[in-house]
Every structure is written in structure tokens, then in C-alpha cells.
Amino acid sequence: MDQATNDRILAGMQFENDREAPPPGFPALPRVPAGRYLDPAFLALEREAMWKSSWLYAIHADEVPEVGSYRLWERNGSPILIVRVADKEFRAYYNTCAHRGAPLVQDASGKKKLFVCPYHAWSYDLQGKLKAVRDPRDFPDLDMNCYGLTSVHCATFGPWIFINEADDPPPLLESIAPFPEHWSSLDVDDMRHIHSSSYEVPCNVKVLLDAFMESYHIASIHRQTVNRFLNHRGTYIELYPHGNMLMCTPQKREDWEDPGARGMARIPTATMVQRVHNPSCHFFPNLVAPVSDSGVPFLVFWPKTDGSMIIDSHWFGPTASKDDPMWQTRIDNWARILDEDLQFAGDIQKSMESGGFQGLALSYQERRIYYWHEEVDRRIGPERVPSELRMRPMLDDYVRPTNGA
């Protein structure tokens, strides 16, 4: 993050804290239709056309530490093998033999020189090429070059590996702009995997994702935790192309320090915004990362069924702090805050399914939720969205261009 961006965010938080009303000319946002959370046909369209064509965070490079290491990744519905094929090269393939569709691996992780199908022993190298078949005499016309593993687009931002199942997606770094530039002050290549945990929650994925796109709920849900040190009234928001967003909430006191991070190694090049305040970066569609100068958590939100979801919580930190015993305190504190966010999700889902829910009535503070839905329609194609569920574009004039736009 350069100094100009840092200063713009600081000024923006001051403006938000001091304002008496939304900025002049900001439009009244129409309701977000209830069917976008409940209608099975729309949710199927969303899954097929949006989730399957977006760059999605999968794993950290530490999780496939050696050449031949693999992880079986299934969060987006398809079984995908993510493999380290060279020192800094990763590839992804569907876990599907080209012969008759059997899975190549069943273990969640491991290390291979060859992937050998357990059904009929067709074997593939780390590059996905078919190397041998059993009884080749019975396949006299088989062109081995035409029967490799089916690749899935795989790309990295620092040590983080992303997957995209679209046929021809845009480049990852373009799609997640401006965060590669913003995070240039955080030495991302030095970020190590510290801890991961997962939670299953009985609600549509957007119910919980919405909570992490606004700070309006802090004074109610987090009275004894986050509300003690963050000033939600000063929250500053930037909207970017491709559905990405920033929400920076100021500390109530600039000398406050996270008790779970005291004494931990710091990133000396972090800016004031990253050292003192709470800049939460939203990588569309489902990754929320509130960065700091001592570590970065990833919250990743996944649909499981129409009415249930999984949230993955990952922590990353500098190499210098990887074995710091303070991480356990920090992770425990984080889990308590996350529990506060999860506590009402199931009840909200039940309420939404009642006849009383007509849709979301959003304020200026909650405009990121509206923008997220606008981007969903852009990904699907507005003409494919039923007219009664379609979002009316309202926020184009509030999108800040980036070099990756």
C-alpha cells in the first residue's frame, strides 16, 4: 500500500466519522429481493454461473510443501487435485481418470511421483500426461497425448493458490486488483500457514457473508469484544472493479494493541492503516481478509446446500512468528469473535424462510452488500436473471478504478 492510498483511507475514515448523513446524491438502494437467498432456481444459477467461474482461494503453498505433494480440494463441489509440480509451480486437475472416470486419489493429501488410477491402473505424471495403460495391446489406436488429466486453472498470489473452473478466466492478479498493490507493503511471500479450522453453519452462504460486508452490527453483536476497540461509525468503504471491496474500520484509540498479538514479530514495511486500523479486504466472491502488520486471517465462505454453508478460517503470519506461542491466544480470541457472528445465523435463515421476509433493506453503511449482488448479476448475465430477482445497477459511479480493471 503506497502512502497516497494510506492517506486516502485515513481521510476517508475521518470523513465517515464526522458526517451527519450519507454524502449528497447517494441513491436510495432498492430492496435486495428475498428470492436471491431462497429461490432454488436462482441459487442453482448462481452456483453454476458465478461460483464455477470465479477465482477462489484454495490452499497455501505450505500445504503442498514438496514436489509431488498434493491436496484433494472439494470446497466448490468438484474434486480437484492441487499438485506442486516444481519448486514454485503448481497445477490443478480434476480428480478423474480419463479412462472411465474413477478418482485417482481418495486421501485428502499425500505425495506422488505418478498418479495411478486404483481401478485399472492408468498412470499420469505430475504434468497430467498419461504415461502408461494396463494391457496396451488392447488399445492399439490410443493416442496417449489425448488422454491426459483435465486441467483446472490454477494461479498464485504470493504463497496463496487460487482455482477457477471457467474455460477462459481473466488473469488472477487482474481479477483481485487492487489487493496485490495494497499488500505490497506486507511482504506476502514471507507469509506462512499457521492454522486452519472450519465451521458448518445452517444458513445460506450469503446470510453470513453479508455480516462481514458491514460494521453496522458491531455495537449489537460484539459489545464486549470488537466494539470495545473499533469505531464502526468511522468505517470507510471503497468499491473496486470485479466485485472486490475494502472496508476499513478505525481503532477507537491508536495506542490500542491486540492482546493476542503482543510481542509478536511485525512487518516493518506495513503502513499506518495496516498497523493501527482494521482494513478488511474482500476478494469477490467469498474471501474476507482483515490484514494487520503481524498476521493475516482469511475467512472463506462456501455454499454447501441452499440452506447451509461452511466457513473456513485460516491464519497466516511472518516466518519469524511461525512458532510463537502467542498464536494460540490470538486464534482463541478470534474464535470467540467468530462465534458471536455465527450465533444468530441459523435463526436468521429460519426467519428468512418465513412469510415475513420481503428482502434486504440496505443503508449507506451496507452498500457493499448491494454491490456484491450487482456483481453476481454481472457474472451470471443480467438477461439470465429472472426480472423479479434482478438487481438494478446503482453503484457504478462509486466504483474506484484500479490498474487491474
Domains in the chain, CATH or no CATH each: 3-51+187-398 (3.90.380.10), 56-157 (2.102.10.10)
The answer for residues whose C-beta is within 8 angstroms of residue 205's C-beta and 6 or more apart is 286, 301, 302, 303, 304, 309
Q: Do 292 and 57 touch, CB atoms closer than 8 A?
A: no
pTM score = 0.95
What is the average per-residue pLDDT within 233-246?
A: 97
β-pairing, 296-305 vs 308-318, is antiparallel
* pLDDT the model gives residue 79: 97
Provide the mean pLDDT of the chain. Answer: 95
Cell 455495537 sits on residue: 219
Whether residue 91 has pLDDT greater than 80: yes
Dihedral-angle region of residue 284 (phi above 0 means left; psi in -120 to 50 means alpha; beta otherwise): beta
Range with the poorest average pLDDT among 4-13, 89-98, 110-119, 246-255: 246-255
Whether residue 150 has pLDDT greater than 90: yes
Whether residue 257 has pLDDT greater than 80: no
Cis peptide before 285 (omega within 30 of 0): yes
Whole-Å CA distances, 1 to 180, 244, 256, 271, 400? 9, 16, 22, 7, 15
List, in sequence order, every beta strand (DSSP E) within 250-356.
278-283, 287-290, 296-305, 308-318
The pLDDT confidence band at residue 221, using thresholds 50, 70 and 90, is confident
Order of strands, sheet of 115-116, starting from the edge strand that comes earlier in the sequence: 115-116, 123-124, 130-132
The pLDDT confidence band at residue 404, using thresholds 50, 70 and 90, is low
The share of the chain scoring above pLDDT 90, in percent, equals: 90
* pLDDT the model gives residue 355: 86
The answer for residues whose C-beta is within 8 angstroms of residue 142's C-beta and 6 or more apart is 133, 136
- Tens-digit pLDDT profile for residues 29-85: 999 999 999 999 999 999 999 999 999 999 999 999 999 999 999 999 999 999 999
Q: Do 59 and 67 touch, CB atoms closer than 8 A?
A: no
The answer for residues whose C-beta is within 8 angstroms of residue 19's C-beta and 6 or more apart is none
Alpha helices in 149-217 (DSSP H): 172-175, 179-182, 205-211
What is the average per-residue pLDDT within 398-402?
A: 95
Whole-Å CA distances, 345 to 36, 114, 203, 292? 17, 44, 6, 27
Question: Residue length, the chain?
Answer: 405
Range with the poorest average pLDDT among 14-23, 212-221, 372-381, 389-398: 212-221
**What distance lies between CA 389 and its chain's CA centroid?**
24
Whole-Å CA distances, 246 to 15, 239, 294, 305, 394? 16, 7, 19, 28, 18
The burial of 85, by beta-carbon neighbours within 10 Å (0-12 exposed, 13-18 middle, 19 or more buried), is given as: middle
Terminal Cα distance for the chain, rounded = 17
* pLDDT the model gives residue 261: 84
Whether residue 189 has pLDDT greater than 60: yes
* pLDDT the model gives residue 114: 97
Q: Do 249 and 277 touch, CB atoms closer than 8 A?
A: yes
56-72 core/surface letters (b: 16 or more CB in 10 A; e: else): bbbbbbebbeeeebbbb
Whether residue 256 has pLDDT greater than 80: no
* pLDDT the model gives residue 262: 86
Handedness of CA 373, 376, 378, 380 (dihedral sign): negative
Higher pLDDT, 257 or 370: 370
* pLDDT the model gives residue 405: 46
What is the average per-residue pLDDT within 311-329?
A: 95
* pLDDT the model gives residue 255: 78
d(CA 254, CA 133): 65
d(CA 381, CA 376): 8
β-pairing, 160-164 vs 191-201, is unpaired
Angle between helices 367-380 and 40-49 (to 10 degrees): 70
d(CA 310, CA 17): 34
Q: Do 290 and 280 touch, CB atoms closer than 8 A?
A: yes
The answer for residues whose C-beta is within 8 angstroms of residue 101's C-beta and 6 or more apart is none
Query: What are the grid coordinates assigned to 265, written together?
Result: 514479530
Whether residue 252 has pLDDT greater than 60: yes
d(CA 315, CA 193): 6
